[in-house]
Amino acid sequence: MALEKINKVPLFKAVGVVALLRNLFVLLFVISFLLNIYSVWQETGEIEGVIKDVGGQIFNPLYNLEQHTLKISEEGFTDFSEGILKGYWIFIKNIYLFLEPFIVSFLWFKFFVSIISFFMGDITPKFYVYTASFIAFTIIQWFYIILFTDLNMLTPFRALENVVGYLLKLVE
């Protein structure tokens, strides 16, 4: 009975719309991620190429963000020289490739916050939970770097530094 009264308040209806949009956004992200897997498989024709690409997207998102940011800074965000539709497609693709590492990082972070909160309990201060989640996220990236790439262990931190530097240049 009390919930029926709360749902009639416009603020709570708006929260329901926000939750719906969030779920729609996650669904679109998952669909685009699966389409990306399929396109990589079509390009390489090998499952190994798909595993390396997907592993890099999932386990090393900060490095991917740095690489894409450097590509955008060199080539620009879009190119209309091949036609307006192709230019808009490149623009949408660049936005997705720029936002995808943030989304993956956020999902990893939320995953670790949930796991650590479950084991440490609700009485643990959020600062400790977030710090432990950041450390776990960094360790996962390091394991991927050690096992599957020839990159340096400081790559995620350098990548973050380069991306922040590029974003600050855009703001100026």
The whole domain housing 75 covers 46-171
Contacting residues for 7 by C-beta, under 8 A, at least 6 apart = 13, 16
pLDDT per residue as tens digits for the range 90-136: 787 778 777 888 888 888 888 888 888 888 877 778 888 888 888 88
pLDDT per residue as tens digits for the range 83-98: 777 778 778 777 877 7
Do 33 and 85 reside in the same domain of the chain? no
Do 61 and 7 reside in the same domain of the chain? no
Do 150 and 87 reside in the same domain of the chain? yes
Average confidence (pLDDT) over 37-61: 79
Do 33 and 55 reside in the same domain of the chain? no
Average confidence (pLDDT) over 153-160: 77
Do 36 and 50 reside in the same domain of the chain? no
Do 27 and 78 reside in the same domain of the chain? no
Do 9 and 93 reside in the same domain of the chain? no
DSSP 77: S
Confidence of residue 13 (pLDDT cuts 50, 70, 90): low
pLDDT per residue as tens digits for the range 50-94: 877 777 777 778 787 888 777 877 777 777 777 777 778 778 777
| C-alpha torsion angle, residues 146, 148, 154, 157 (rounded to 10) | -130
Average confidence (pLDDT) over 137-141: 85
**Residue 14: its pLDDT value, please?**
54
First to last CA, the chain: 53
Say how many domains are in the chain.
2
Do 108 and 164 reside in the same domain of the chain? yes
Do 74 and 112 reside in the same domain of the chain? yes
Going from the C-alpha of 108 to that of each of 12, 87, 112, 166, the distances in angstroms are 28, 32, 6, 24
**Residue 119: its pLDDT value, please?**
84
Do 50 and 135 reside in the same domain of the chain? yes
152-160 CB contacts, 8 Å cutoff, 24+ apart: 155/60, 155/62, 155/63, 156/60, 156/62, 156/63, 158/66, 159/62, 159/63, 159/65, 159/66, 160/62, 160/65, 160/66
**Residue 1: its pLDDT value, please?**
47
Distance CA 117, CA 130 (A): 9
Do 30 and 61 reside in the same domain of the chain? no
Confidence of residue 3 (pLDDT cuts 50, 70, 90): very low
Do 68 and 147 reside in the same domain of the chain? yes
Confidence of residue 8 (pLDDT cuts 50, 70, 90): low
